[in-house]
Structure 1
């Protein structure tokens, strides 16, 4: 059933494209307004500077996109995306050393952000009632009697206006919509913030035509040290050599509160000081294909439209325009696509687009966004450098700082040993289950206690802590836990 004549999406990035897919069945026409000129292929563009950094597509996000656009995953893989099992295909350094390889419950699709968006654009362009207008600058909204009724925008030929039955803000962190609403008489918006001063820097490389025999891994991850005392700042970096399509990798280093290298030379110098020499050694065997790209716009921001007593009708929000996360946690595209899928579900059950519809959608979206938001807070609130409305009292910050990293590593270690914990942890990582639900599960708690006792008695079944100065071990330890059943 059609719910209106025209829907307008502000922004043609991943969030906006997913929103267009959600709206298409319920409106005669969907118009996507995008500031950039969109490339035909998988190329960077000015409006998405973060495309130059690694992007995980979490399982919940890839399923949501697949529901909005059937065949998306197959087309992404056909275009070069890599379907991998991180526990088998990634060399992972946490704590004192490398983790062991073994099969697990989690698989992922690896690709560049630009390829994800190119495949999404191809899917959207296949929808007969969706049009994308490029080179458009949105300048405001029109409203009447508590409802958003249209969009003002500027093109190369002048100012234009389009009437709309439904508008979706997908303009990202820099969205001006809250300001336009305030100017039109809506209340000042409550905004939750926490900026842990994360900075990350990346450079693209082409892999050698022949990988060295010791490179069984495709993804290289080095977690920050938890050791106290003197050490190079680079030991506190989160490091990735992230595989993407076209026999390429993105070398990325990031940190909470540290200055990061900005030039090609300083990038290479810093890479030689991270706490495992394999990162720099692997870069030396690869050919750089880009300059260094640095990003600082990484704070967590939640615009609480759901707390307005009377939110505007005719307007919804997806992606960073409503809730933006520290990119380290890889929640952005998945949260945006889940919001778009949630919107489609609400549209499918609607008779009319009245105030009740929008209040119910915002309430459901609040519950959805709360899961990744709490995960981000659980770590970022522990950093002394963090600022924002959600900065906790000092006693609580110190407690989080002391507990969060060891707790995370304990759960990761338990997941290596126990397939039930592994399955639940995979769900938490992929936003399919909240951390609270996992830790509130009596069966999971019992297994965590059992793991703690076994570890204290030295009865681990899967070894860990392999020498970080050596090559990560290629041995498959899956058989060590193969007799354990998953329930």
Structure 2
């Protein structure tokens, strides 16, 4: 054991993962959660983002599975769906619908509230962990603030009945999310405020929940479970909705979350405007799919989407006795689906650091912060690569105009080349999936000669007319369900249309 008591601030995904990691190293782990936690998969005040789609990336799935063995099986038993996106999702890309074929990546689809419910069930199986609901954290008890041997020694909180209490703690884990006041409390106690890296690309997204039609009453064209429409790359006149990143996202219980988001554009928040916007998304199947379903919620809109990293690792003398994980340390643009997985990875690192150190002192704090920084670098670099391209982005990580222009000019062509080459080169497809899932960094991908060779070879074959898997199927039609897995014969491969007026061939 590394101590008697650990206290976790917050009972969302980050806090629950931290509690699971701590349970192996402390006699008692107390989770302080402001909300009353629902017994089932239901929304609660403290997690407004649960009303939007959430991806649990493969690296996050593995991390949670190491902390809570059997988590994935429990999530699927509760209604989560284990799917292969390249076979079960329809993607509308730059030039139209992408072809359907088997790939290396699988995902478990579910709502955020179901993920949290399964995690709560797993946490409650741990005898060392106690969740105290209705507990509002009001401050920290510190000693020697700012000194090399300074540390956090406890937590003050207010119980649901108004009673004030203080808990002694050998280790405190801050999982209070984007709005965490912990950095301010530490500054009041004498520590330097951590430098912050920020970038807000003015992302807004809006979602509504739907029931799917009964299985026997769905359109024959619905081979897909997940529908994705990427923003247009057309620079001419078009409706704002063509700039949206749009998801028809499947969740448990024969339901879907219809979500539309954008960088820098106003988004609908009223029902009629939401439905009209869905109809104007550039792939017409998106609006048709939404209208075929039965809405079960109001429209939910979120604007709190900026990237923000509190760099405690840069402090000369970071406080001992406390660490931060999840959005409390590093919050991402939610479009990139990195939050839950990054939090789970940090919780796994926390457990590993506790195994390496006999005490949770300054050496432990420095070791954890160093390794956490290396882990967070991976998703942070991905978020910066896209969000730095926008002229209206604000924050410390904005770049000169020439770099914004270069990023805007190159990002889409590179992405298009990668996705096209992935259709025929398994190495390119696997590498890109690893980067998306945070298993490889963008820097590693950029330095991989085999990856770029695969893309260059595909572009040469494309110029010579020797590619075998078509793409660019008409976005005005339903996505084609043809399975191109293993297709190697150019003569037998249906061709995509090159003119917007042509009929779809081979759907």
Tell me, yes or no, whether TM beats 0.5: yes
Structure-2 residue corresponding to 1:284? 291
2:192 matches 1:193: no
Instruction: State how far apart, in whole Å, the 1-side matches of 2:290 and 2:142 are.
Output: 54
State yes or no: 1:151 paired with 2:155: yes
Which position in structure 2 is the counterpart of 1:34? 33
Indicate conservation of the 8 Å contact 1:194/1:387, yes or no. Answer: yes
> Structure 1, residues 326-369: CA drift from partner, whole Å, max 9, x if none?
00000000000000001101111211222111101100100000
Equivalent residue number for residue 5 of structure 1: 4
Find 2:372's aligned residue among 365, 369, 374: 365
Alpha-carbon deviation of 1:302?
0.3
Q: How does 1:315-334 map to 2 (within 5 A)?
A: 315-334=322-341
Partner of 1:201: helix, strand, or coil?
A: strand
SS of equivalent to 1:140: strand
Task: Write the distance in 2 (CA, Å) between the matches of 1:352 and 1:47.
Answer: 33
1:173 corresponds in structure 2 to 178
Paired residues of 1:243 and 1:249 also in contact (CA < 8 A): yes
What does residue range 226-305 of structure 1 map to in structure 2 within 5 Å? 226-305=233-312
The 5-angstrom pairing of residues 337-352 of structure 1 reads 337-352=344-359
**Cα deviation 1:459-486 (Å, max 9, x = unaligned):** 222100000001111100011269xxxx
Aligned to 2:498: none
> How many angstroms apart in 2 are the aligned matches of 1:447 and 1:277?
33
1:24 is displaced (CA, Å) by 0.4
- Give 1:117's aligned residue: 116
Aligned partner of 1:163 in structure 2 is: 168
- Confirm or deny: 8 A CA contact 1:419 1:481 kept in the other structure: no
Task: Judge which range, 352-361 or 257-266, deviates more.
Answer: 352-361
Q: Any conservation in 2 of the 1:303–1:322 contact (CA below 8 Å)?
A: yes
Paired with 2:45 and 2:339, the residues of 1 have a C-alpha distance of 18
Q: Give 1:188 shift.
A: 2.4
CA contact (8 A) 1:418 1:481 kept: no
Which residue of structure 2 lines up, in the alignment, with residue 485 of structure 1?
Answer: none
The secondary structure found in structure 2 opposite 1:192 is strand
Partners of 1:179 and 1:233 lie apart in 2 by 40
Query: What is the aligned partner in structure 1 of residue 23 from structure 2?
Result: 24
Q: Note the C-alpha offset of 1:445.
A: 2.0
- Give the number of equivalent residue pairs: 481
Corresponding residue for residue 435 of structure 2: 428
Distance across 2 between alignment mates of 1:373 and 1:458 = 38
CA contact (8 A) 1:154 1:160 kept: yes
Equivalence for 1:394 = 401
For 2:127 and 2:118, locate their aligned partners in 1 and report how far apart those are by CA, in whole Å. Answer: 17
Q: In 2, distance between residues paired with 1:106 and 1:56?
A: 13
In the TM superposition, residue 440 of structure 1 has moved relative to its aligned partner by: 1.0
Match of 1:215 in 2: 222
Paired with 2:488 and 2:227, the residues of 1 have a C-alpha distance of 24
TM-score (norm 2): 0.94
User: Within the alignment, does 1:440 sit opposite 2:439 as a pair?
Assistant: no
RMSD value, Cα: 0.9
SS of match in other structure, 1:55: coil
Looking at structure 2, the residues matched to 157 and 191 of structure 1 have their Cα atoms a distance apart, in angstroms, of 34
1:96 CA drift (Å): 1.4
Q: Deviations over 1:448-468 (max 9, x none)?
A: 211121122222221000000
CA distance in 1, matches of 2:213, 2:47: 28
Q: Distance in 2 between matches of 1:471 and 1:169?
A: 47
Match of 1:476 among 483, 490, 505: 483
For the residues of structure 2 that align with 1:307 and 1:456, how far apart are their CA atoms? 49
Q: What residue ranges of structure 1 are gaps of 5+ in the alignment?
A: 483-487
Paired residue secondary structure (1:56): coil
State the partner residue of 2:387.
380
CA-to-partner distance for each residue in 1:238-274, whole Å, 9 max, x for gaps?
A: 0000000000000000000000000111000111111
| Aligned-partner Cα distance in 2 for 1:153–1:406 | 52
Alpha-carbon distance between aligned partners in 2 of 1:416 and 1:171, rounded to the nearest angstrom: 41
